[in-house]
Amino acid sequence: MRIGLLWRAEWDPVEGSGSVRERSRLHGVFSAFSELGIEAEPVVYSDAAVDDARVQLLGLDGVLVWANPIEKGFDRTQLDALLREVSTAGVWVSAHPDVILRMATKRVLVDTAAMSWSAETHLYTTLAQLADELPGRLAGGPLVLKQNRGMGGAGVWSVESVSPRELRVQQAAGSAPPETISTEAFFQLCVPYFAKQGVIVEQPRQSRLAEGMIRVYLSHDTVVGFAHQYPRAFLDPDIAARLPIEKRFELRSAEPYQRLRELMETRWVHELRSITTIERGDLPVIWDADFLLGPKTETGKDTYVLCEINASSTFAFPDHAMPAVAQAAVDRITKYRAR
């Protein structure tokens, strides 16, 4: 069985001497496949060398892909076309670009708005709609606006009304403080988000941001681990300075997250699959769902609000989950080859 691990050259250039497998950020994944007796192959992709990647991919039985939707000025247009091509030719691809579009863009927050993991959501499909509806919707309090595809908080904004013609805005990416700008100036910042049939998704800004975000790692429909982390975006600097810096990985059995694990495995993934019409075997072998803490129930239990789903480039993920991911990929490729 020949399996490739693909990443964009700009993401991890693996410079220096020695084995690419050992120097890559994905060295733990390579090791997990090696433990199964499979020497996975590095596929270092570049838009400038699509033909070379095509030749290599067509010689594989399957490929796991790590490529952000927008990264250092590149998008996935050429890569996704290539992955669809080699998939049609019989190469197993995870996550498949069409699966990503159905479950791992911000639009899924709207598609799954009826699920119990959802806060109130609103969809803007044009700049004119945003200009017409946003001022009135801000009367209900601060909102978070998210472009459909992005990474690292780019295109994710906290927005609140200051006056009929002014907004207080802050982008999640970087460390820029909030600023007050004209409503029209903010709308101009949003113009690129509607390119190529893009959309903006709105959610209310959650009040428990300082308690952190819980990332649930999954392989197909099984939880394989958690991470508790503390994004600083939209928090008062004094509060942000007191929060833990490191991401804390947890086993799937970690007691604080068992209710969330049960919700994911027995209810939410099934509902997500039903809404997106994704078969279980087509779910990515590694993906994650990010949750903010919502209002507590009357009995004091936490609720969870889906922030986003990541399937394009799920990294970093816990070392203890890598063997399960590698085994899931081998099992899926075996079934794929037997069709």
**Residue pLDDT, tens place only, 79-93:** 999 999 999 999 999
Distance of CA 293 to the CA centre of its chain: 18
Distance of alpha carbon 265 from alpha carbon 298, whole angstroms: 24
DSSP lists the bridge partners of residue 203 as 144
**What is the 8-class DSSP label of residue 177?**
P
Residue 262: how many CA atoms within 13 Å on its side-chain side?
A: 5
Q: What angle, rounded to 10 degrees, do the helices at 77-88 and 50-58 form?
A: 30
- Decide if pLDDT at 13 tops 80: no
Q: Domain spanning 103-118+208-311 has what CATH number?
A: 3.30.470
More confidently predicted of 29 and 17: 29
Tell whether the model's pLDDT for residue 18 goes beyond 80. no
12/20 Cα distance (integer angstroms): 10
Q: Is the pLDDT of residue 158 over 90?
A: yes
Is residue 337 scored above 90 in pLDDT? no
Q: Is 270 helix (H, G, I), strand (E, B) or coil?
A: helix
Residue 314: exposure state from Cβ atoms within 10 A (0-12, 13-18, ≥19): buried
What is the SS3 assignment for 50-62? HHHHHHHHHCCCE
Q: Where are the alpha helices (DSSP H) in the chain?
A: 20-23, 27-35, 50-58, 77-88, 97-103, 108-111, 127-137, 183-189, 237-240, 258-263, 269-276, 322-337
CA angle 247, 300, 233 (to 5 degrees): 35
Q: Is the pLDDT of residue 288 over 90?
A: yes
Read off the pLDDT of each residue in 270-296 and give the average, rounded to a whole number.
97
pLDDT at 283: 97
Q: What is the pLDDT of residues 88-132, one digit of tens each?
A: 999 999 999 999 999 999 999 999 999 999 999 999 999 999 999
Distance CA(270)–CA(291), nearest Å, equals 17
Which option is the CATH number for 3-95+328-337: 1.20.120, 1.10.3470, 3.30.980, 3.40.50? 3.40.50
Give the pLDDT confidence score for residue 206 in this predicted structure: 95
**pLDDT tens by residue, 222-280:** 999 999 999 999 999 999 999 999 889 999 999 999 999 999 999 999 999 999 999 99
**Mean confidence (pLDDT) of the chain:** 95
Tell me the domain boundaries of the chain.
3-95+328-337, 103-118+208-311, 122-204
pLDDT for the residue 304: 97
On the question of pLDDT at 16 being above 70, the answer is: no
pLDDT tens profile 49-83: 999 999 999 999 999 999 999 888 899 999 999 99
pLDDT score of 17? 63
Closest of 191, 46, 54 to residue 131, by C-alpha: 191
pLDDT given for residue 142 in this prediction:
97
Instruction: Return the pLDDT at 171.
Output: 96
Nearest to 267, CA basis, from 223, 215, 310: 223
